[in-house]
């Protein structure tokens, strides 16, 4: 593996019936990422269950309950590497009650694989997955039209799905959509090019994942540095050192940049950027560094450093799309803790503007109860200003979670409109 290889995170949406587990199993198997003892275990289980051959879907089973019930309950992460890239798969369950898991897996993904059964075409579940991918602004969507072997590998089935998908996705905000006809069961166009579909000129799935351009997936324009913690060493040598530690959320910072610290508004210039004992000329997202400034200003966790000519908007009133993640429904006008970058404030949901019917994508202004898996547009009021960007511009400074103070549970995920 080459040293400059990148890391690509993708999520797979779909249910067992779509062949999602089989697809992941196939990707791992054909890219030789499965070990002999794992294969042996799966072969034994396949035999016990009376399956013919090796059931690749068994690779993705995790917890005891999942093995017993044959379903995926929670997001599971899988890893594989090819000579071109390292991959992280967030394997998320496809059942309706598990929207929260899909949202979770989607939140950090560069790409989403959406599985469609070639026999059934685009169904409600497909729309739901595509909607969540667009809501979470996953930069690349790959629609895999699976089970092509069951429609005699015919191009018509493939074209039909494309037409259906494009018809409803025009309502969504997706930048890069690709369509690949595959058979996860037989391996066609997963790792190896299919010999049964000459009419398909595009690349197989793995090649697509290996080569798609992802360097621009992170915002490299708006420089934002949320301060995680302040480093003040107790040693003689570094007595005057005051480093602001954090991970660049977006954009690029250079030595000498004129910066503004928010929310205080104090200005200064970057004196040094350090990564461990190395001094750097510049730092870009998502690097973890520490920054020192020319002036001694009071800065603490939750503050944000931005370039003086490009700052986020401080605001106490936030309009956002939120996905409710908890069994207990939202309490009207209840106070929650809002966590946004390294900042934490009290917040209140002032108003639910509308709920989205995720099957039809219709807005329902009359339905304003927020329960598990609901996706709504809301108005939130915070006790102090948050330093926000819109989620569309910036997935890091445009996202937040809500925490219920009485249970400490994470109850909602939010994306600033």
Site for other proteins in 238-277 (CB under 8 A): 238, 241, 243, 245-247, 252, 274-277
Q: By C-beta, is 361 or 403 nearer to other proteins?
A: 403
In the set 129, 339, 355, 377, which binds other proteins (CB under 8 A)? 339
Q: Which of residues 92-151 bind other proteins (CB under 8 A)?
A: 100-101, 103-104, 107-108
Quote the tokens at residue 5. 């290889």
d(CA 411, CA 337): 10
CA 264 to CA 244: how far, in whole Å? 15
215 binds other proteins (CB under 8 A): yes
Residue 16 lies near other proteins (rule: CB under 8 A): no
Cβ 308 vs Cβ 259: under 8 Å: yes
By beta-carbon proximity to other proteins, the closer residue of 214 and 334 is 214
Shortest spacing between CB 27 and other proteins, in angstroms: 15
Minimum separation from the CB atom of position 324 to other proteins (A): 11
State which of residues 97, 234, 236, 265 lies at the interface with other proteins (CB under 8 A): 234
- Give the C-alpha distances (Å, rounded to integers) separating 13 from 26, 33, 85, 173, 209: 16, 21, 21, 18, 16
Dihedral, 399, 138, 175, 394 alpha carbons, nearest 10: 30
First-to-last C-alpha distance (Å) of the chain: 40
Which of 50, 52, 53, 64 forms a contact with other proteins (CB under 8 A)?
Answer: 64
Q: Is 46 in the site for other proteins (CB under 8 A)?
A: no
Q: Which of residues 353-412 bind other proteins (CB under 8 A)?
A: 395-396, 399-401, 403, 408-410
The smaller minimum CB distance to other proteins, of residues 256 and 286, is found at: 286
Question: Which residues inside 290-319 make contact with other proteins, applying CB under 8 A?
Answer: 290, 301
Q: 124-135 vs 155-169: helix axis angle to the nearest 10?
A: 50
Among all chains, which residue has been given the structure tokens 């993705």?
60
> Under a CB-based contact definition with an 8 Å cutoff, are residues 279 and 322 in contact?
no
Verify binding: residue 237, other proteins, rule CB under 8 A: yes
């Amino acid at each position: 593996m080459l040293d400059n290889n990148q890391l690509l995170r993708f999520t797979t949406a779909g249910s067992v019936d779509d062949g999602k587990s089989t697809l992941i199993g196939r990707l791992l198997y054909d890219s030789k990422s499965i070990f002999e003892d794992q294969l042996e275990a799966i072969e034994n289980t396949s035999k016990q269950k009376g399956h013919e051959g090796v059931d690749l879907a068994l690779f993705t089973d995790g917890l005891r309950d999942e093995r017993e019930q044959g379903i995926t309950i929670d997001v599971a992460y899988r890893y594989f590497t090819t000579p071109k890239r390292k991959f992280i798969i967030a394997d998320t369950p496809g059942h309706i009650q598990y929207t929260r898991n899909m949202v979770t897996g989607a939140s950090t993904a560069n790409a989403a694989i959406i599985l469609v059964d070639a026999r059934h075409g685009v169904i409600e579940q497909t729309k739901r997955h595509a909607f969540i991918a667009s809501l979470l602004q996953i930069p690349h969507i790959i629609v895999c039209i699976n089970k092509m072997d069951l429609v005699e590998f015919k191009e018509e089935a493939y074209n039909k799905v494309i037409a259906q998908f494009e018809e409803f996705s025009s309502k969504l905000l997706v930048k890069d959509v690709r369509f690949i006809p595959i058979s996860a069961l037989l391996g066609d166009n997963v790792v190896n090019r299919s010999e049964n579909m000459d009419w398909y000129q595009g690349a197989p799935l793995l090649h697509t994942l290996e080569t798609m351009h992802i360097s621009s997936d992170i915002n490299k324009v708006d420089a934002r540095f949320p301060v995680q913690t302040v480093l003040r060493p107790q040693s003689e040598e570094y007595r005057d050192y005051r480093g602001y530690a954090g991970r660049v959320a977006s954009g690029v910072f250079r030595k000498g940049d004129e910066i503004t610290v928010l929310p205080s508004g104090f200005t200064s210039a970057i004196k040094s950027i350090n990564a461990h004992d190395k001094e750097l000329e510049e730092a870009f997202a998502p690097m973890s560094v520490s920054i020192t400034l020319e002036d001694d200003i009071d800065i603490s966790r939750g503050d944000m450093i931005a370039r003086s000519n490009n700052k986020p908007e401080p605001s106490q009133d936030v309009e956002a799309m939120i996905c409710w993640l908890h069994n207990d429904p939202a309490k009207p006008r209840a106070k929650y803790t809002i966590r946004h970058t390294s900042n934490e404030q009290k917040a209140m949901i002032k108003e639910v503007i509308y709920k989205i019917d995720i099957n039809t994508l219709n807005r329902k202004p009359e339905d304003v109860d927020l329960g598990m898996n609901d996706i709504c547009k809301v108005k939130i009021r915070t006790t102090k200003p948050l330093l926000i960007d819109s989620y569309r511009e910036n997935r890091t400074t445009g996202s937040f979670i809500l925490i219920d103070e009485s249970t400490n549970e994470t109850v909602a995920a939010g994306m600033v409109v």
